[in-house]
Structure 1
Amino acid sequence: MFGAVRVALALAVLGLAACSGAGRDSATAAQPTLPPVVQSPVPEDSREPAVKDAAPEPEAELAAEAKPAATVASPPLREPIELTFVGDIIFGRYRTTGFDPIVGEGERPFDDILATMRSDVLIGNLETPLVYELPAKSPIGAKFAFGASKAMAQHLVDGGFTAVSLANNHSFDQRAEGLLQSPKILEELGILPLGASRSEPPVFRVETIERRGWKIGLLAVTSRRNAPQFAGTPELPFLSTNEFTATLGPLIDAAKPTHDLIIVFVHWGEEYADAPGRHQQNQARALLDRGAHLVVGHHPHVLQGIEKYGEGAIAYSLGNFLFENTNEIPRLTGVLRARFTATSCLEALTFHPAYIKRTPSKHPVPATGGLGKIVRTRMRTLSEALETTLEASGEDLVLRRSCAAGN
């Protein structure tokens, strides 16, 4: 019955419009307008009494019946992300005769291992300061002194590096010029400098990379330095290892609400030691407890083990990657690949074995066959000493964990 009444009323309205000669536009303009939406509550004493059982306007009810229901699109799911990490990189060193480059003219040192390094974000430790004009003689008197020009740093671009750490003990090898020019050169090349020396506070800071909907916080520090802090020069982000949690913990706390991942990149430990010290282990675990997802280390110039801890992991040392020392153990290296699910869960940590090949000039290549077995054996043995089992997967080693829904 009510439907028939509605149809009759609608026909009557259309008939009146036709008799009056009104066109379609004027009929639309004559529609009753809806009251504005009230954004804030109206005080009780100013509200009008509600009208109960009021019949709706015929035209409005017909329009409501004809209007399709609104649909709300679900937000797109974030895809998993992969990050890769490598160890120490230099492009040459000073000898008594002058600068001795590692990479030959026209060579591309990372080409043989590009496929292994490729990921959404690639980070390494640049253990050499950069300057626009590389001096022929070392500006410092140390036996081991490094340096590189902007042209040499172009190899990092060719290798696909997203960021490199400058927080290490060779940061002062080109004196104040290297401290000041290194981050500028990297920025000009489109590479993010991590742990750069600062002339203004804060010295310790979380750097941010955004990739494919992910916001990644990177914190780079060193517990090793070859020179004291000189007045009037930028300050290196240097800390004693035992001070890591007290200084870096609050930075992690502040970054957690605005970042999907937090990675701590540290230059620490003893050179050529097979295992980290207990104080390193304690501090690395504390950083993971505080909210970091990974701790990645370098400086010992040899591979050390990987430790699974809580929902994260610690790679104590990734050794050398592009370096002049190609002795039996220091030449063993690798690429560490971390895969995180859309919920920021560390799903898999894959170690790709590699070594530094001596010819035609020193450069990293994947380790397969007999050399691959040597690298895998070292990494598995040292990781087992840290109560962590790495599974073999072809030429690689993998640490897996279950990422349940919500993790």
Structure 2
Amino acid sequence: MVMSRSESHQRQKKQRSKRLRRLVVINGILLLLIGAAAVAYLVQRGGGGDKLDAPSNGNGTTAQDGAGNGGGDAPPAPEGDAGSVPDAPSENAGASNNGGADGATNGGTDEGNAGGGTAGDAPVNAPADTPTDAPAGASPGADAGTGAAGGQSGSDSSQGSAGNGGIAGPGEDTADLSFTGDILLAASVEKLMLKNGYDYPYAKVRNFLQLSDVTAANLETPVTLRGTPAPDKQYVYKSSPDALPALVDSGIDVVNLANNHTLDQGEEGLLDTIDYLNKAKMPNMGAGKDDTEAFKPVIKEANGIRIAYLGLTRVVPVGSWKAGKDHPGLAESYDPTRAVAAIKKAKEEADVVVVMVHWGTELADKPNADQTRLGHAYIDAGADLVVGSHPHVLQGFEAYKGKWIAYSLGNFIFSGMPDKRTADTGILDAACDAGGTCSLLLHPMRAVQSQPAPLEGAEAAALLKRISGISIHASIDSNGRVQMKE
């Protein structure tokens, strides 16, 4: 029987994971044997007339993961996208509807003027940010390399030094999940892919994306060859379906569509997006032909653990983008009632419930009151892990009732922007057991010309320290492990 690209990809991931675990076990046994031989040799020398004063000189060796100094020169910036508009409470006027093919003016940001449409919805004005593709002076890192946070302490250290991403606490009794921030496949990113190949954005992080059982991301663009550009919207995107095979092959397994760009090409573009993703065997959530489909989770299984992925957004440009009973659109969460009901239902169907939500204030380091309120409501309803996007910068983590909220994973693959913080990114690993308890590990990265790569040495340490400093009831150690604290 001929397997689909997605099925083949999943089988390859499982085979790689099994090979890796065997390699870790074999390396551990070899290290133990070498250590035992060394101790025996030293003991023999101490008691065998070699004129050693001490009965034993057996100093244990400590293997340390090398943290090389990253930092090559940043490549020159490609053609910039349109200029920047600072955060403002007013709606954005003026549209630049260039469909995303040439990327000259429709670059990377969200204006997301949240629309009304249902009672109690408070309009939210997410201002336009600014794409210029200016690199942030980052080290691109090695293709398979792991940054300073990539290795793990103890018996898992060989996994990190092997450059495969170092999943937090992997094992047969956990589901190893990974998450990225926003992915844009239009505008200047599309130009780079047409020049360098559709697999260009993933070249230096492929191992991180492929190692885990399930990798999820926010897809910040419609995928269509037609559609009508949204009016009165400063940035309007359109991605070619030709970019999807490389997305599937990268290691990404699930995408969230609940964001403020999925209907940039109208309902026609939204339905095309879902159709193209389904044909590519890429599970997706957060949008649909009606509200039932939009709020329906994607269910994945790993090591016997069922994981439900829900997509939600609190950034909706106009009320007509919200999914209704007989109306295509997004799963919105201004009023959390519908989201809470969907989470409770998903908890009945799965061991672990993950909420991927588009929310927050662009370019803000810390979550706003709505993010905190909704994040707590999701966990109170039964969510085990909440992963946010939209601010275009990394925000901190919060430990709440033994569960985790990652407020924003920032940009992952996106048009460049003048604020250097928008180039800082990462991949979040979560090892979750059947009871919904997850341990987290953040791999610090930086994107240069829309290509994320691991950070190392002082750059990795500085980024981890910054994110730790803005976290709530949580801290991040030098290895990238996210830990709860009072």
Superposed pair shares fold, TM > 0.5 = yes
Query: For residues 196 and 230 of structure 2, what CA distance do their matches in structure 1 show?
Result: 24
User: CA 1:151 to 1:168, structure 2 compared with 1: closer, same or farther past 3 Å?
Assistant: same
CA deviations 1:333-361 (Å, max 9, x no partner) are: 00010012354322x20000011112xxx
Counterpart in the other structure of 1:336: 428
Q: Which shows bigger deviation, 251-260 or 119-128? A: 251-260
Query: For residues 331 and 139 of structure 1, what CA distance do their matches in structure 2 show?
Result: 27
CA deviations 1:104-130 (Å, max 9, x no partner) are: 342521121112223100000000000
Counterpart in the other structure of 2:182: 88
Counterpart in the other structure of 2:328: 234
Deviation at 1:282, TM superposition (A): 2.2
**SS of corresponding position for 1:329:** helix
> Map of 1:237-276 to 2, 5 A cutoff?
237-240=331-334, 243-244=335-336, 246-276=337-367
Question: Which of 129, 132, 137 is the aligned partner of 2:222?
Answer: 129
Q: Contact 2:184–2:219 (CA<8 Å) still a contact in 1?
A: yes
Deviation at 1:153, TM superposition (A): 2.0
CA deviations 1:300-336 (Å, max 9, x no partner) are: 0000001111221000000000000243110000001
Counterpart in the other structure of 1:60: none
Q: Contact 1:198–1:236 (CA<8 Å) still a contact in 2?
A: no
Deviation at 1:144, TM superposition (A): 1.2
Quick check: 1:389 aligned with 2:480? no
**SS of corresponding position for 2:380:** helix
**Structure 2 counterpart of 1:391, one-letter code:** D
Question: Which of 366, 370, 379 is the aligned partner of 2:467?
Answer: 379
Query: For residues 461 and 221 of structure 2, what CA distance do their matches in structure 1 show?
Result: 31
Q: Contact 1:92–1:102 (CA<8 Å) still a contact in 2?
A: no
**Structure 2 counterpart of 1:84, one-letter code:** S
Query: For residues 362 and 351 of structure 2, what CA distance do their matches in structure 1 show?
Result: 33
Deviation at 1:194, TM superposition (A): 1.1
Q: Contact 1:172–1:226 (CA<8 Å) still a contact in 2?
A: no
Q: Which shows bigger deviation, 226-235 or 185-194? A: 226-235
CA deviations 1:261-297 (Å, max 9, x no partner) are: 0011100011111111123212211221221100100
> Map of 1:12-91 to 2, 5 A cutoff?
79-91=173-185
Quick check: 1:151 aligned with 2:257? no
Quick check: 1:182 aligned with 2:273? yes
Normalised by the length of structure 1, the TM-score is 0.70
Counterpart in the other structure of 1:405: none
| Higher RCO (C-alpha under 8 Å, 6+ residues apart) | 2
Q: Contact 1:391–1:398 (CA<8 Å) still a contact in 2?
A: yes
Counterpart in the other structure of 1:207: 298
Q: Which shows bigger deviation, 247-256 or 177-186? A: 247-256
Q: Which shows bigger deviation, 82-91 or 246-255? A: 246-255
Query: For residues 460 and 338 of structure 2, what CA distance do their matches in structure 1 show?
Result: 39
CA deviations 1:63-97 (Å, max 9, x no partner) are: xxxxxxxxxxxxxx962111000000011228xxx
Normalised by the length of structure 2, the TM-score is 0.59
Query: For residues 142 and 252 of structure 1, what CA distance do their matches in structure 2 show?
Result: 31
* RMSD between superposed Cα atoms in Å: 2.5
- Please list every run of 5 or more consecutive structure 2 residues that lacks an aligned counterpart in the other structure: 1-170
Query: For residues 274 and 308 of structure 1, what CA distance do their matches in structure 2 show?
Result: 17
**Structure 2 counterpart of 1:184, one-letter code:** D
Query: For residues 350 and 271 of structure 2, what CA distance do their matches in structure 1 show?
Result: 28
Question: Which of 395, 399, 404 is the aligned partner of 2:482?
Answer: 399
User: CA 1:252 to 1:200, structure 2 compared with 1: closer, same or farther past 3 Å?
Assistant: closer
Query: How many residues are treated as equivalent by the alignment?
Result: 308
Query: For residues 248 and 272 of structure 1, what CA distance do their matches in structure 2 show?
Result: 25
Query: For residues 256 and 139 of structure 1, what CA distance do their matches in structure 2 show?
Result: 36
**SS of corresponding position for 1:148:** coil
**Structure 2 counterpart of 1:338, one-letter code:** A
Query: For residues 84 and 222 of structure 1, what CA distance do their matches in structure 2 show?
Result: 20
Query: For residues 106 and 143 of structure 1, what CA distance do their matches in structure 2 show?
Result: 28
**SS of corresponding position for 1:229:** helix
User: CA 1:200 to 1:318, structure 2 compared with 1: closer, same or farther past 3 Å?
Assistant: closer
Superposed structure 1 runs of 4+ greater than 4 Å apart: 137-141, 230-233
Deviation at 1:234, TM superposition (A): 1.1
CA deviations 1:26-81 (Å, max 9, x no partner) are: xxxxxxxxxxxxxxxxxxxxxxxxxxxxxxxxxxxxxxxxxxxxxxxxxxx96211
Quick check: 1:120 aligned with 2:208? no
- Comparing both structures, which one devotes a greater share of its residues to strand? 1
Deviation at 1:200, TM superposition (A): 6.0
**Structure whose CA Rg is larger:** 1
**Structure 2 counterpart of 1:211, one-letter code:** A
Counterpart in the other structure of 1:295: 386
Percentage of pairs with the same residue = 31
- Please list every run of 5 or more consecutive structure 1 residues that lacks an aligned counterpart in the other structure: 1-76, 403-407
Q: Contact 2:287–2:293 (CA<8 Å) still a contact in 1?
A: no
Query: For residues 371 and 401 of structure 1, what CA distance do their matches in structure 2 show?
Result: 24
**SS of corresponding position for 1:112:** coil
Counterpart in the other structure of 1:216: 307
